[in-house]
Amino acid sequence: MVKGCFVNKALCALAIVFALSACSKKNEPAPAADAGPTSPPPTAQAPAPTSEPTEADKKRAEKQAALDYATMEDGYLNDPKGQCAKSVTASSTFGETGSSGPSSVNAPSNMVGKPDGRQWTNDHQDMGFDTFEATFEKPVHATEVRVVFSSGQEAVSKVELKGVDGSYATVWSGVNEDPDDERGSRHWFVRRFAATANPVQAVKVTIANTVERGYKVVDAVQLVGE
């Protein structure tokens, strides 16, 4: 009888242990699911290399640039509001410091009228300032000045307008940062501004010779206004 009780007690103890073990396993958190290997982030693909322009492409671009220049220049030359100078004076003329004196080939009067290949050349390559003043037939309320250079346009430092009363007003001054226009054989230096209150009869342009060394060569001067 004692032996049977002992066996029953042992079985009860084992049952309790198994029950506690089962409860403990139920309370354990489930292992995380295996996400597998992490994929690297997608990399941006480099743009496809552009092909170099062919000789045909370059020639086509050159022709287009020349056409654009011709269109621009034709618009300037045939501007109904534009007029070219009827007389021009300058502070110096190439050759005047030499023994033979200045030649008519370089005279300021060559700036009269439309661009025609006859030009004024100054007498200083890299010293001081030079000026030229263009007078026009009809005084106008000016809105624009155009100067046709063969060389030296980077040296322009000031543009003044002379009113019918003889007074001068500066409409632009500073360093000319216009890029060289390589589309044609001439460079049009252009400055636009609000219409002047009083009529303008002349334009005075100042050149700083040290800014761009070498002789300055000008073909024509144009005033725009009504």
Give tens-digit pLDDT for 15-29.
444 444 444 444 545
1, part of any domain:
no
43, part of any domain:
no
- Output the domain CATH number for residue 182: 2.60.120.260
Percent of the chain, pLDDT > 90?
73
Neighbours of 172 (CB within 10 A): 16
36, part of any domain:
no
Domain tally, the chain: 1
27, part of any domain:
no
Q: What does pLDDT average to over the chain?
A: 86
Percent of the chain, pLDDT > 70?
78
35, part of any domain:
no
75, part of any domain:
no
Q: What is residue 101's predicted lDDT score, i.e. its pLDDT?
A: 84
180, part of any domain:
yes
Q: Residue 179: is its pLDDT beyond 80?
A: yes
pTM of the model: 0.76
42, part of any domain:
no
99 or 173: which carries more pLDDT confidence? 173
The range of the structural domain enclosing residue 175 comes to 81-225
Rounded to an integer, the average pLDDT of 46-63 is 85
Q: Residue 65: is its pLDDT beyond 50?
A: yes
- Residue 40 pLDDT grade (very low, low, confident, very high; cuts 50, 70, 90): low
The per-residue pLDDT for range 102-114, each reduced to its tens digit, is: 889 999 999 999 9
The per-residue pLDDT for range 119-136, each reduced to its tens digit, is: 999 999 999 999 999 999
62 phi/psi in degrees, rounded to 5: -65, -40
Q: What is residue 43's predicted lDDT score, i.e. its pLDDT?
A: 65
Q: What is residue 45's predicted lDDT score, i.e. its pLDDT?
A: 72
